[in-house]
Amino acid sequence: MARISPATIDAVNAQTDIVSLVGEYTRLERRGADWWGCCPFHNEKSPSFHVVPDRKMYHCFGCGKGGGVINFLMEMDKLSFVEAVETLAKKTGIEVVYEGNAGPPIPRDDTKDKLIELYDRVAGSFHWLLLESPHGKKALDYLRSRKVSPEIIEEFRLGYSPADRRWLYGFLTKKGYSRDFLAKSGLFSKKFPESSFFSDRLMFPIMNRKGQVVAFGGRILEGEGPKYLNSGDMPQYKKGETLFAFDRALPEIRQTKSVIFCEGYMDVLAWHQAGMKRAVAPLGTAFTEDQAKLVRSFADTVYLSFDSDTAGQTATYKAILMCRSAGFQVKVVEIKNGKDPADILLNEGPEALIKTLEISIIDLDYLVLSAGKRFDITSPEGKSRASAFLFPYIEALESDIQRESTIQHLSAAFGIREQALLSDYRNRKQPRPVMQSGQIADKPVKARNVKRNAELRAVLAVVANPAFFPLMRSSLTSDDFEDSFARDLYIVLEECYRTDATSVESLLERCPDEETRRIVTETLTGGEFAENAQKTVEDSIQLVRKNVLEKKRDRLVARLAMLKGADQDEARVLGELISEKQRIDEELAKLKDMNE
C-alpha cells in the first residue's frame, strides 16, 4: 500500500508553526522558550498543556496526550493521518508526494469538502436574493425594522430562502449537482427530494471556526410553522459542538478572556452591532459541554445573556451549573420586562445594551434572588427548598474554599445556621473524585505502568537525539532489549533510519500504540536528554550491552555445568562454549575499563 513520502511529512512538519496551529484551539502563554495553556483535549482549570516550538511537540501532563503538528490536527479535527498531512500541506503550499510516485492508496472521502462548497454556494445565493431580488424584500424590510445595520448583514452573510420550495433544487441541478448528492445534503425534504427544507425564511449561515459555511438557521417571516428551523447534524456539522458566530467572536474572546452566551441569532447580531463582538449562541439546543469546552481554552469569564421569561431563567440556571463545572467565572446579564438584547438595541440603542453588561451580577447573587422569588424563605419548608435549589451550584464549584464561602453567603441570605446548611448539603451531594492535594480532579488519569529502566532510557535518549542512532545500531539490535517498550521504540527508530524519515511526526506515526506515543512526547517536551546527549547515549549503550553480555555468560556457565564429564562430541561443544565465555569475559573487561 502506498503511503505519503517521508520527505513530504518532514516538509509539512518543518513548515508548520505549532504555536500558531495549537493557538487556534486554545490560548497559549509564553514561559521562557516554551508555551503553556489549558489542554484542548480535556477539561482543566490550571494550564498543564506544554508546547515546545523547537521540537514542534506538545504534551499534556494532565491527560497524557502528546505528539507533533500532524497528530494534533488529527486529534482536534478527527482526521486521518493522510487528511491531516494534506490539510497542513495545503496551508503551507507543499506538494504531497506518495512513495513510488503513486497516488493516495485509498481515494479520500471528500464528502465534507463537497458539502462545505455546496453550503457556501447556497449561502451566497441566499445573500444575493436578500439584497438584490424583489423576493427578498420582506426579509430585508424585517431586518431594517429591527435596525440591523448593512454592515452586520454583510458580515454575517444573512440571506433569504425563496417561498418556492422547488427553486433551490432547480438552481443546484443546473449547476451540475447530482440528485443523489442533493438528497444527502440536508437542504431538502427526505419525503420530497426536490422540496427545500428552508422556504420563505430569513437565513442565518452557520460557520465553523474556520469561517466556512456548514449549516443554516432560518427564521419564519409570516404564516404558520416553527419560528426557527435549524439544519440537522451532517458530516461537516454537529450542532452540539458548534456555536453561532464563534469564528467572528474568537478574536475578542481571546483579547478580553470573556464570552457572552446568548439564546439566539438576533441577540448575537445585537451584541455585535453594539460593539460587543464576543457574543455567541447555541444552535437550537441547550448549551452543551462540548460548546463550553470550545471557548474554555480562550475565556475565563462567561456572561449569560438569556431572556427573562421562564424558559430563559431555566436556561440560565442550567448554564450556570455547566459553566461553573467547566471552571468559568460566571456573571448574569439581567434584561427585565420580557425584553431581549435585540429589543434593547432597537428601542434604547447600543449604549443601553452595553450598560446591561457593565452592571451584570455574579451568578451566586442571581441564584439567591431567583430562590427568593421561587420559594417562601420565611418558612422552614421554603428555606429547605431554596437551599436544595442552590446545592447543585455548590457542587459545581471547583474548590472547597469556594464551597465554604458560598455556604456562608447562603446562611446569611436565608437565615440558616451554617452547620445545618452544611449538614444538609453533605447528605445530598454526590461524591466527587479528589486528588491528594484536596483539589477536585479534572479527569482521572490512567495509572502509568511503564518503568523507565536502563533499556527504555537508552532508547529514549536516542529518540531525543536521533543523530546518535547509527551509534546505537552499531552495538545493539532489537533482540538485545528485554523491555517491550524499548524494543518497540528501537524497531521504530530502525524503520525511520532505513526510510530516511527524520521528523518526529514520522516516528510517532510508526509507534505501535498510544502509550508508546505518550512516552515519546513526554520525554521530548520535558527536555530530559537535552544536555550531555552523546555521553548519555554512550553510557546507556554500554549499560545495555553489559547486561546482554552478562546474561549470555550466565547461560554459557549453566550449559558448561551440564556438560561436565561429557563424551568426545560433547567435549568439542564444551571447548567452543569455553572460548565463547572467554570472549564475553574479555568484552566485559573492556567495558569495565571504559567506565573506569
Across the beta sheet with 57-60, the strand order is 28-31, 34-37, 49-52, 57-60, 66-67
Write 135-143 long-range contacts (CB < 8 A, 24+). Answer: 135/160, 135/162, 135/163, 136/160, 138/221, 138/222, 139/201, 139/202, 139/221, 142/202, 142/221, 143/202
Q: Alpha-carbon distance 501 to 495, whole Å?
A: 8
Can you read off the three cell numbers belonging to residue 535?
555521553
Task: Indicate whether 267 pLDDT > 70.
Answer: yes
Class of domain 6-101: alpha beta
Span 72-78, average pLDDT = 87
- Domain 111-237 in CATH 3.90.980.10? The answer is yes
Specify the pairing of strand 301-305 against strand 329-332. parallel
Backbone angles phi, psi at 165, to 5 degrees: -65, -20
Handedness of CA 57, 58, 61, 63 (dihedral sign): negative
Distances (CA, A) of 100 to 400, 476, 500: 61, 31, 15
Average pLDDT over residues 555-559: 72
Nearest to 214 by CA among 123, 293, 109: 123
Q: In Å, what is the CA distance from 81 to each residue of 72, 491, 492, 506, 508?
A: 10, 21, 17, 11, 11
**DSSP 8-state class, residue 445:** P
Any residues with CB less than 8 A from the CB of 432 and at least 6 apart, and which? Answer: 395, 440, 441
pLDDT at 409: 92
Encode pLDDT of 410-424 as tens digits.
999 999 998 988 888
The mean per-residue pLDDT over the stretch 318-323 comes to 91
- Mean pLDDT comparison of 230-234, 272-276, 294-298, 516-520, highest-scoring range: 272-276
Residue 484: band (very low, low, confident or very high) from pLDDT cuts 50, 70, 90:
confident
Check: CB of residue 262 under 8 Å from CB of residue 268. yes
CATH (residue range 246-368)? 3.40.1360.10
Q: How far apart are CA 65 and CA 525, in angstroms?
A: 12
CATH number for 454-595: choose from 3.40.50.150, 3.30.300.30, 2.40.110.10, 1.10.860.10. Answer: 1.10.860.10
Q: Which residues make beta-bridge pairs with 262?
A: 305
Answering whether pTM is above 0.75, one says: no
Lowest mean pLDDT, pick from 76-85, 114-123, 333-342, 403-412 = 333-342
C-alpha–C-alpha distance, residues 570 and 338, integer Å:
101
Q: pLDDT-derived band of residue 258, with 50, 70 and 90 as boundaries? A: very high
Q: What does the domain layout of the chain look like in residue ranges?
A: 6-101, 111-237, 246-368, 376-428, 454-595
Looking at per-residue pLDDT, the higher value among 107 and 302 belongs to: 302
Please name the residues in contact with 464: beta carbons below 8 A apart, sequence gap of 6 or more: 523, 524, 528, 529, 530, 533
Sign (positive/negative) of CA torsion 251, 257, 263, 266?
negative
User: Rounded to an integer, what distance in angstroms lies between the CA atom of residue 405 and that of residue 383?
Assistant: 18
